[in-house]
Structure 1
Amino acid sequence: MLLFIPLQAYLGKKTSVLRLRTALRTDERVRMMNEIISGIQVIKMYAWELPFETMVAYARKKEINAIRHVSYIRGILLSFIIFLTRVSIFLSLVGYVLLGTFLTPEVAFLITAYYNILRTTMTVFFPQGISQMAETLVSIKRVEKYMQSDETDVSDKSVDWPLETPGSNQATVYGETEEDLDEVEDKLLPSPLPMPVPMPLGKINENAVLSEAGIAINGLKAKWDVNSPDYTLNCVNLRVQPGTMLGIVGRTGSGKSSLMQAILGELRSESGEIKVNGTISYASQEPWLFSGTVRQNILFGQPMDRRRYTKVVKKCALERDFDLLPYKDKTIVGERGASLSGGQKARISLARAVYRETSIYLLDDPLSAVDTHVARHLFEQCMRGYLRERIVILATHQLQFLQQADQIVIMDKGQVSAVGTYESLRDSGVDFASMLNEEAREEQTEERSRSRSGSQVDQRRNSEISLVSVTDSVLDAGADQMVSQERQTQGRIGLGLYNKYFKAGGGFFAFFVMMAFCVLSQVLASLGDYFLSYWVTKKGNDAVLASSNAENDTTIQSPMLENRLSHWLTEQGLPVDAEMLDTYIFTLITVLTIVVTVARSFLFFNLAMKASISLHNSMFHGISRAAMFFFNTNPSGRILNRFSKDMGQVDEILPAVMMDVIQIFLALAGIVIVIAIVNPLFLIPTVVLGIIFYQLRTFYLKTSRDVKRMEAITRSPVYSHLAASLTGLSTIRAFGAQRVLEAEFDNYQDMHSSAFYMFISTSRAFGYWLDCFCVIYIAIITLSFFVYPPANGGDVGLAITQAMGMTGMVQWGMRQSAELENTMTAVERVVEYEDIEPEGELEAANPAKKPPKSWPAEGKIIFDELSLRYVPDPKAEYVLKSLNFVIQPREKVGIVGRTGAGKSSLINALFRLSYNEGSILIDKRDTNVMGLHDLRSKISIIPQEPVLFSGTMRYNLDPFDEYKDEKLWRSLEEVKLKEVVADLPSGLQSKITEGGTNFSVGQRQLVCLARAILRENRILVMDEATANVDPQTDGLIQTTIRNKFKDCTVLTIAHRLHTIMDSDKVLVMDAGRVVEFGTPYELLTLSDTKVFHGMVKQTGQATYETLLKVAQKAFEDAQKQSRRLSS
């Protein structure tokens, strides 16, 4: 037995190496799943479910290959339970006999009892300890590596001006104390995210703060990638005086956001220095909201000052939104603001920054997500009004506001190319007209509602205001029904679930083959035990016969089987001594036991790995086919929980536990049979013990099963909270909220730990009572031999050793069988996601409903009594209401309307992302009856949220590998990204980081435009396609679109009115209805409702006249073209 210790140690070390490899591959798969869940809407619009399913299956296959090796090692270690003790007994007894020593029952069962005492420790606990220690070391090393990572230099303490530490980035916060943690007054609803530390600015002299506040940047060099030779910011010099409004402008990717991140301390400086004196408030380019109420997102933990709160809401143009939201500012926004539009999220993010009274405000492009008149309101009333005495640093593409800035910084390729006032820069030769790109120079007038994407941002639909109330039932006055409660299954695990598991592992044939080997393994093991008793009894009889022969001087042969077998072998020409034949038989049985047991383990774990692969792929297929309603009502953390923790249990915990249960059940059956053969009366206490254990197990499972489910459910908020916090790290740190978020994480972790501790406690109590009854059972068996003496000593030894082995085994078996049922809840949760109702067929099963490859040839779109809702309940409120209009082939249609008017919902209806009633006909074919891929693959989309996935640039452009590199380069050139990609180390094969974070938001949008150019479809939808790019790039893109898609039907959700004034038609929406539809010129001059006319008028008289001329010229050109064609 000691000889196996080096082997077990080697296997443990090997397990450690394989476990690390497994962890890395699991991380890769979970990261991939996080990206897919975040970008699921874009994946569906592009009809990319299948390539992503293939990619996930490949990642899963690599992960399973690593897990399989660990499982095989675990199978060998489990096999030791069966044969290691028996091999030790075999070697000891055979050696004893070969040395010529006479074997007696006392010696044999003394050796057997000794090894049985060691069996559990050496074959169960010792290998388990080695394996678990190896896994613990891997986990500790991973945690250690993480803990040793460089930490940010962001400080949460205020400092005196000037800072003396060169090269440090300091963002300072006043008055952050432990007592501040208790000053959260807004507790109308419990928030999933606790509120951060309030900044009691009123305790100090505010005028002193303002007079001393300032920013100085000297020779700053910084880069995000320390391995990159190029600097993100290069030799930046800047000084911002108190009370200054600084505008930062520049082309897409010029370094505007990076400069703000450097001021915040998020971007570490390589050289130079940043000095910041004063407290900082920050509104990020990608609005970050947590799943609390609107009010909680604005207050962000600060005390409620009703007067200031009302003023900030007004200055941030949120009053009308509050009136339309179902519970006003107590409406829960959903995870990452899923129930709000992009404009609403941006204004709430801005309101949060403004409500916090600080001396410095960093506002990263908040005006891009709102209408022009709202943008003007925010700029004049909020930034130049409410914040007039503070430092305001505004990064923007809205260049028309630059004239009112005190100072302007022009960024270019990470450098400050010019600094000064509007007049001084203009006089020095800066061509603002060129920057504004003529029409963009005018007031930019249309909503630029966009939801931004980051490395962890959940890609959700931008639902309208009316969508917040989506069902009739609500939880309470502050509850929002957008996020559903996670369902907790009740009751015992049914046989159907085991059936699904083994079916996933290869079907019933594979199961029966595996079980046949399991049974054969136990038969051989029990046969070895029985033969040992037989052999020892025979030796005892031989001793009696030998004594009798000596006394009577006679020879009497033992009438044993071996003598007859020895005689038969001698007749066959194979003379074998009868004494040695016992040794040969015992050897054969032991060798067969080893071979069959190891083969059994390999077969079982191979079946388990197949089941894991099948269950995972089925679960992924289930969620990839789910409707968007599922993703809108289930937080990403909840979904990831199934793919990480639950799947991990199915991969590694469940097979080991199930193998244990099968092995123990068969071993118990063998023991009971052997005991029954020795003395049938022993079955009575055995049956009684079995009944008691079963009742204990039933009682225990009633509690432990639901506690295990509770543990799984309390785990989901931990994932959700962590994902949300990671997404908003820069905002959290800017507001000094780290400690409170850590406290909230601890709260969620404590809830989960409490459930887990309860589960462990119930398990320990169960084990205690099992121990008590096992001691009683052994006492009964032992005392029975005093009452009823046996016929021979072999039976006594066999019965007692088997009983001792059985009690330990029954105890462990009861625990493991209970653990099996508890672990099967993970399978239950995985299977639950397999059965999600799909959104529709990907490909039409009926050939008659499948459109030809050339469809659509023209691009005519007819909306016929179309209504749309976002929930499956037919009684739910409709967001689009009875739309009727026709878009002619090759028409360019601009779609405009206020936030919440239904513009994005119109796109959802076209792609069938929600629940449509009525019909949409494209080239006379009803889109409701065709397959989703048949429809979506024929419509190009430049989505509102620019999503890139980790992988190569080529994969992001062409996941199906349909196009040659030349065509990909050409598409990148047309969107002005060819130079950017060519400068990357590997060109098209260069790696994209998670979420595309190594590209700016605008560059990500250009990649999406390149995708649309590649697809060459007859219908193009642009949902805020150029919302994230500078005006000059926007002009280039507009030219590209006019040239590349001149023969296509183009639907544009407008963000700048000048981009749609030369459209063939404009569709004006309000509250889910079409209020105007016609040419821009007709709507400006002849419309009775004058909605569009009013929108243009709001931009100012000069802009109105300019846009009217553009519309008139386009109208006249269209008339001339029509007359020319008719003649």
Structure 2
Amino acid sequence: MELQPLNKNISESKAAYYPLRDKKRSWFSSLLFLWIHPLLRIAHSTKLEQEHTFELPEPEKAESETLSEYLKNHKLFSALLRSHWKKLLLVIILGNISAMLDYAAPIYIQLLISYLSSDDKPLSTGIILAGSYSIITLSQQIINGQTAWHSRILEIRVKNSLASVIYNKVTITATVEEGQGVNLLQVDAKNIVELFAYSGWVVAMPFQIGFAIFLILNQVSTAVFAGIGAIVLALSLNYFIAIKCKNFQEKYMKIRDERIENSKNLFGEIKMIKAYSWEEYFKNRVNIVRKNEISTLRILNFFYATNIFLLWTIPSLTAVIVFVFYTQVLGEHLNSEKTFVTLTALLLLQEPFRSLPQAVTKVFQCYVSSKRIQKLLDAPVVEKLKKNDVIVMEKATFAYGDKEILHDIDLTINKGELLAIIGEVGSGKSSILNAIMGEIKIKSGKIAVDDNIAYAPSLDSWVMNGTLKNNILFGKEFDESKYWKVIEACCLMQDINILPARDFTEIGEKGINLSGGQKARVCLARAVYADRDIYLLDDPLSSVDSHVAHHIFKHCMLGLLANKTRILVTHRMNILHKCDRVIIMEAGKIKKITSSESISIDTEIIEESTKTVEAPTGEGKLIEDEDREVGKVSMEVYKDYLKCAGAYYWICIAIVAMIIYTGVRMAGDIFLKNWSENQDETSTWMPLYFSFRLGSCLFVYMRTTSLNVMMQINTGKKIHENLLNSLIKAPINLFYDITPLGRILNRLSKDLGIIEEDLGFTIGTLLSHTCSISASFIMVFIYFPWLAVLLPFSIYPALKLKEYYITTSRELTRLEAISRSPILNNYTETISGAKFIRVHNKIPYFINKNNGILNMNARMNYSLGGCSAWLDLYLGFLSSAFLCVLFALVVVYRYDVSVGVVGLSLAYIVSLPRDVSLWVLTFAILENQMVSVERTRHFMKLDPEQPLKLDTDKNLQNWPISPSIKFRDAKMRYRPNTDLVLKGVSFIVEPGQRIGLVGRTGCGKSSLFLCLLRIVELESGAILIDEVNIAHIGLSALRGAITLIAQDPLVFEGTLKDNLDPGNLKSQAQIEKALNEVKLSRFSTDHAVKAKGSNLSIGERQLLSLGRAMLADTKIILFDEATAGIDPETDSQIQELIKDKFPGKTLLAIAHRIGTIMDSDIVVVMDRGEVKEIGNPKELVESDSLFKNLAQNIH
């Protein structure tokens, strides 16, 4: 082990040491965990960072492909067993040895009682007994520590291999949904991992139970079989309950999937949801599922509580049955030896029976989760098509699921050809590209392609959370000359120059701080830089201005890509004459293939050069690092949790129940001692002992029900409710723009799962161990009060060990939670961009990236595991020492102590080493789990956006009567310390006017819309609608008075009716009429729409959004290039529809096709957040104006 100081210039708060390098350890260091000490010292002296933790050894890294190899021929669980069998076998062997050594205690108690009962008590015999027992119990602590450590290593290996194969499968299949995927990683993988981690103890349980029965048989003869009968009966009930648990577990996991998917849809599209004022609708969608989830979890936990009660009852009732049968049926007499050896064995039997419900639960959870992950692994992959130099389709029919979407396609595309595909909305243009990529299944016919493909869409552009430069390089080496040529050809130079850190600027999750046109060009630049043979271009020119489209077409498609095979889906008719051939699609079939010369061209694209500007300097980081508390979990967190849903009430009930349980159990055992010494009073002692034992078990049931069925679920329910409300109210620019979706989903899945599935069990376990330790000390001090002198010498070092451990484990737990969020971020990002990853053959690159993220998380767990094993070892040493001292003192004072007293005291004290160790570990687990409460609490205290409703809104029932809009010196920036995006914008829109907003991408057009909807608040200035300052209106009233038709429309899973009328305010006839008017009458209102409208074309999604606006019937409508993905003929019809169906409405339209706004009343020309020109478009086009230059590109 080596600790190397960092450069002195580095801040000590950031890092005090280089990563701990785990050199080859000596056997002594490994045995006693001395190698963990440097980490403990660092954590105790400075703020622990990820850099301080141990580097991960090679066998624990995610790069291992062993599991993937076994999965080729075996199901998941079998493959896991085969790939990790060596470490699993070691853990099982160590666990069984440790479990068997537990039963040295009753054997030594028997030997000690025999020794004390004899007339001749030689000191040497006593010393041998005490010495050999000391050696055994100390050796057991070493074995316990090694078992804990190797279990953690097995956990890390299984977790990494599972996460890897799940991620790897996601990159090659198109069937997984993000919400389901989150649960597979966060919940299902965890269930399987935990079973492997606890395998040593799980497998040891039958041996523990069997050996205990053997010891009891040796003491009370055939009376043990009466106890076995009771055990069999109880286990039969346990099996019945376990089957119920399995069924409800499967149901619960499906419902949980649905909730996470709904939450992902809500927070993934939160900007558009706020714009439509649909927060309540989407919140209700989540809450409906959540209500079902809570009721299912409550039933599941009720069964768990019943199981715990049943299995805690077994040792107590077994003791009663055995003793009664032995004395009443067999007519035998109990003596101290038989009583306390049997009692010790029964007390030791409590631990496996206490753990058995959890073990059974984990087995069934593992079974359910294995099936769920196996279903993903069995999902069909996107198969590589037959390779060919040219693209050939022969009588090819393609389907998405069971629905055929392309029929009898005969097509040959030659190398180096530029082929255009045109057609109406939904005719199958984009489907042709998906067929070439292999993203849709071929049902009949043949297809062969060269797999050296690049793909660049328009509205479905995908960008990673990273810098603009990394998005373009996409894992390829940087070639400076080539890179800047691509930037210029894709018309990105001016955009880069205005970004804070140029191309090193982080562009955020889903490209949150880029416009639609900028994302499309980044996606195109990525494809061009990839230097592939075939380019599939899905209408990338539709989301950019005409002069930008001309530049890209000339310098990119006809320039850098001149010798490539290019298939271009387009609606720009004026470029078709430059193409080699044109395919006309209709209803999923090729209607016609024609040469470009036969296509009538009205207008040529006119060249216009782009200007460069001086590059600003600044920070390019957008996504903020995750907040992390330091030090102890604050008492405020505990107080908030206890006040949440009356948790303190249920905890108080549980504490009282456990105190009574402990007192009653101790009283029962004291009665048992007296019974063994007063055999003539059996009729008196037997009913009392039976009453004590049964009564104590009823209090266990009270504790379990209070914590697990009531407190745990009620607090989880309340925390989810508060968390959901806080997140929904959080502002877009100050929270969502800088917070990855994976971080939010982490709170709603992993952290919430710990709160409502684990925390109650942990509190209950802590109470149990607290009472067990207290009972051990009280029982010993009753009969050996002078041993209290040793108590400070035991407690002080135990507290110091606890302090060192918790200081370290708490920070490691926080670091582990932070390192977990990138796993989810990367996973959800990969699912949404899987098509791009596959097409660009970047699967190995992304797998390596994912492995790096997994390894960082495993590194935290590796260090955590070392700390836990270290604590387990040294606490075991400490409590074993106390037991050894007691054993030795009994030998020294062998003539002065009662045999019954010794037997009873030792029966209680033998479990002390395990109980003390488990108490501290459970306390640490509790604090670590409270970190989840701390993390959710942070999100529950987010600063909200302005109120949705104000008391004054009741005066605005018919507002706006006259939909005028006035911008008065409006200034806006997205976040503090960033540049102004709007710089004093002022203009007036009269009621009923049609306003066209034009300007280069990124000039502030969309920002105006965000300010109108108060998605982002103005820094200064004002916006007035109907002479009312919108800052004085509730957000719901404001947003409900405006309809936004976006370039990338919000389409969610449900029916067409749900998407058109979420509030269920319109009649069936009105909805059908709207569908007919937007040319979607071929769909019924109950037509199923998949998530993100994946079963609709881009154009159909935009038409759906237009139909939604018609039904909303607001007086102000905002169009953000709403017809970008629609063919010219349909576009013309839509423009007429807008004129016809929105009379008297105030319309503001952002346009890239300037022809769509030439009949506007007013045109506002913007540049860099300022209004440069305002006027009638026909007048401006006749003058020497900026607009005139743009208007020359009309087509």
TM-score tier (shorter): 0.7 to 0.9
**Residues in 2 aligned to 1:652 and 1:420: alpha-carbon distance in whole angstroms:** 64
- Contact 1:290–1:337 (Cα < 8 Å) also in 2: yes
Matches within 5 A, 1:370-385: 370-385=544-559
Q: What is the aligned partner in structure 2 of residue 888 from structure 1? A: 990
Report the alpha carbon displacement of residue 536 of structure 1 after superposing the two structures with TM.
Answer: 3.0
What SS does the aligned partner of 1:989 have?
coil
**Residues in 2 aligned to 1:533 and 1:623: alpha-carbon distance in whole angstroms:** 56
Equivalent of 2:484 in 296, 299, 310: 310
C-alpha spacing 1:388/1:1080, structure 2 compared with 1 (3 Å): same
Percent identity over paired residues: 31
**Residues in 2 aligned to 1:153 and 1:1054: alpha-carbon distance in whole angstroms:** 40
Q: TM-score, normalised by structure 2?
A: 0.77
Matches within 5 A, 1:515-664: 515-541=652-678, 579-605=682-708, 606-629=710-733, 630-664=735-769
- Contact 1:446–1:896 (Cα < 8 Å) also in 2: no
Q: Which moved more, 1:1029-1038 or 1:778-787?
A: 778-787
What SS does the aligned partner of 1:1041 have?
helix
C-alpha spacing 1:263/1:535, structure 2 compared with 1 (3 Å): closer
**Residues in 2 aligned to 1:326 and 1:826: alpha-carbon distance in whole angstroms:** 35
CA deviation profile, 1:941-996 (whole Å, cap 9, x unmatched): 112321211123222222222222222222222212122x22xxxxx333321111
- Contact 2:658–2:771 (Cα < 8 Å) also in 1: no
Q: What is the aligned partner in structure 1 of residue 493 from structure 2? A: 319
- Contact 1:444–1:1056 (Cα < 8 Å) also in 2: no
- Contact 1:790–1:796 (Cα < 8 Å) also in 2: no
Q: What is the aligned partner in structure 2 of residue 567 from structure 1? A: none
What SS does the aligned partner of 1:1084 have?
helix
Matches within 5 A, 1:385-424: 385-424=559-598
CA deviation profile, 1:712-770 (whole Å, cap 9, x unmatched): 11111111112222222222112111112111111111111121222222111111112
When Rg is computed on C-alpha atoms for both structures, the one with the higher figure is 1
- Contact 1:398–1:444 (Cα < 8 Å) also in 2: no
What SS does the aligned partner of 2:542 have?
helix
Report the alpha carbon displacement of residue 542 of structure 1 after superposing the two structures with TM.
Answer: 5.9
C-alpha spacing 1:785/1:688, structure 2 compared with 1 (3 Å): same
CA deviation profile, 1:660-695 (whole Å, cap 9, x unmatched): 112322343344444333333333334543333222
Q: Is 1:816 matched with 2:911?
A: no
Report the alpha carbon displacement of residue 615 of structure 1 after superposing the two structures with TM.
Answer: 0.8
Q: Is 1:103 matched with 2:304?
A: no
Q: What is the aligned partner in structure 2 of residue 23 from structure 1? A: 253
Q: What is the aligned partner in structure 1 of residue 398 from structure 2? A: 222
Letter in 2 for 1:369: S
Q: What is the aligned partner in structure 2 of residue 564 from structure 1? A: none
Q: What is the aligned partner in structure 2 of residue 803 from structure 1? A: 909
Q: Is 1:1096 matched with 2:1174?
A: no
Q: What is the aligned partner in structure 1 of residue 1009 from structure 2? A: 907
Letter in 1 for 2:271: Q
Q: Which moved more, 1:408-417 or 1:8-17?
A: 8-17
- Contact 1:505–1:609 (Cα < 8 Å) also in 2: no
Letter in 2 for 1:1025: A
Q: Is 1:131 matched with 2:361?
A: yes
What SS does the aligned partner of 1:628 have?
coil
C-alpha spacing 1:790/1:960, structure 2 compared with 1 (3 Å): farther
C-alpha spacing 1:531/1:656, structure 2 compared with 1 (3 Å): closer
**Residues in 1 aligned to 2:836 and 2:387: alpha-carbon distance in whole angstroms:** 12
Letter in 2 for 1:224: Y
**Residues in 2 aligned to 1:900 and 1:488: alpha-carbon distance in whole angstroms:** 34
C-alpha spacing 1:398/1:280, structure 2 compared with 1 (3 Å): same
Letter in 2 for 1:721: N
**Residues in 2 aligned to 1:118 and 1:468: alpha-carbon distance in whole angstroms:** 74
**Residues in 2 aligned to 1:877 and 1:256: alpha-carbon distance in whole angstroms:** 41
- Contact 1:248–1:393 (Cα < 8 Å) also in 2: yes
Q: What is the aligned partner in structure 2 of residue 879 from structure 1? A: 981
Letter in 1 for 2:1169: G
- Contact 1:297–1:352 (Cα < 8 Å) also in 2: yes
**Residues in 2 aligned to 1:379 and 1:861: alpha-carbon distance in whole angstroms:** 38
**Residues in 2 aligned to 1:809 and 1:935: alpha-carbon distance in whole angstroms:** 61
Report the alpha carbon displacement of residue 825 of structure 1 after superposing the two structures with TM.
Answer: 0.7
Equivalent of 1:870 in 974, 991, 1012: 974
Q: What is the aligned partner in structure 2 of residue 236 from structure 1? A: 409
C-alpha spacing 1:718/1:532, structure 2 compared with 1 (3 Å): closer
**Residues in 2 aligned to 1:468 and 1:967: alpha-carbon distance in whole angstroms:** 52
- Contact 1:85–1:119 (Cα < 8 Å) also in 2: yes
Letter in 2 for 1:768: L
Q: What is the aligned partner in structure 2 of residue 1112 from structure 1? A: none
CA deviation profile, 1:412-452 (whole Å, cap 9, x unmatched): 1110000011334x5xxxxx68xxxxxxx6579999xxxxx
**Residues in 2 aligned to 1:445 and 1:581: alpha-carbon distance in whole angstroms:** 109
- Contact 1:1005–1:1028 (Cα < 8 Å) also in 2: yes
Q: What is the aligned partner in structure 2 of residue 495 from structure 1? A: 635
Letter in 1 for 2:904: L
Q: Which moved more, 1:656-665 or 1:39-48?
A: 656-665
Letter in 2 for 1:233: L
Q: What is the aligned partner in structure 2 of residue 994 from structure 1? A: 1091
Q: What is the aligned partner in structure 2 of residue 792 from structure 1? A: 898
C-alpha spacing 1:790/1:47, structure 2 compared with 1 (3 Å): farther
What SS does the aligned partner of 1:369 have?
coil
Q: What is the aligned partner in structure 2 of residue 265 from structure 1? A: 438
C-alpha spacing 1:751/1:243, structure 2 compared with 1 (3 Å): same
CA deviation profile, 1:853-882 (whole Å, cap 9, x unmatched): 1011111111122111101x2x43211011
Matches within 5 A, 1:95-494: 95-99=325-329, 100-124=331-355, 126-154=356-384, 169-170=385-386, 213-226=389-402, 228=403, 231-277=404-450, 279-285=452-458, 286-424=460-598, 426=599, 474=619, 480-494=620-634
CA RMSD of superposed structures (Å): 2.5
Report the alpha carbon displacement of residue 82 of structure 1 after superposing the two structures with TM.
Answer: 4.8
**Residues in 2 aligned to 1:975 and 1:466: alpha-carbon distance in whole angstroms:** 42
Any runs of at least 4 consecutive aligned residues in structure 1 with deviations exceeding 6 A, and if so which? Answer: 443-447, 465-469
- Contact 1:537–1:792 (Cα < 8 Å) also in 2: no
Report the alpha carbon displacement of residue 140 of structure 1 after superposing the two structures with TM.
Answer: 1.9
Letter in 2 for 1:59: V
- Contact 1:972–1:978 (Cα < 8 Å) also in 2: yes
- Contact 2:502–2:615 (Cα < 8 Å) also in 1: no
Report the alpha carbon displacement of residue 69 of structure 1 after superposing the two structures with TM.
Answer: 3.0
Letter in 2 for 1:484: E
**Residues in 2 aligned to 1:999 and 1:92: alpha-carbon distance in whole angstroms:** 71
**Residues in 2 aligned to 1:517 and 1:293: alpha-carbon distance in whole angstroms:** 52
Letter in 2 for 1:490: V
Report the alpha carbon displacement of residue 394 of structure 1 after superposing the two structures with TM.
Answer: 0.5
**Residues in 2 aligned to 1:78 and 1:128: alpha-carbon distance in whole angstroms:** 8
**Residues in 2 aligned to 1:259 and 1:859: alpha-carbon distance in whole angstroms:** 44
Equivalent of 2:319 in 89, 105, 113: 89
**Residues in 1 aligned to 2:525 and 2:1100: alpha-carbon distance in whole angstroms:** 27
Q: What is the aligned partner in structure 2 of residue 210 from structure 1? A: none
Q: Is 1:854 matched with 2:949?
A: no
**Residues in 2 aligned to 1:850 and 1:1077: alpha-carbon distance in whole angstroms:** 36
- Contact 1:505–1:608 (Cα < 8 Å) also in 2: no
**Residues in 2 aligned to 1:632 and 1:736: alpha-carbon distance in whole angstroms:** 30
Q: TM-score, normalised by structure 1?
A: 0.81
- Contact 2:647–2:711 (Cα < 8 Å) also in 1: no
What SS does the aligned partner of 1:878 have?
coil
What SS does the aligned partner of 1:232 have?
strand
**Residues in 2 aligned to 1:121 and 1:686: alpha-carbon distance in whole angstroms:** 28
Letter in 2 for 1:852: L
Unaligned runs of 5+ in 1: 155-168, 173-212, 427-431, 434-440, 448-464, 475-479, 544-577, 983-987, 1104-1127
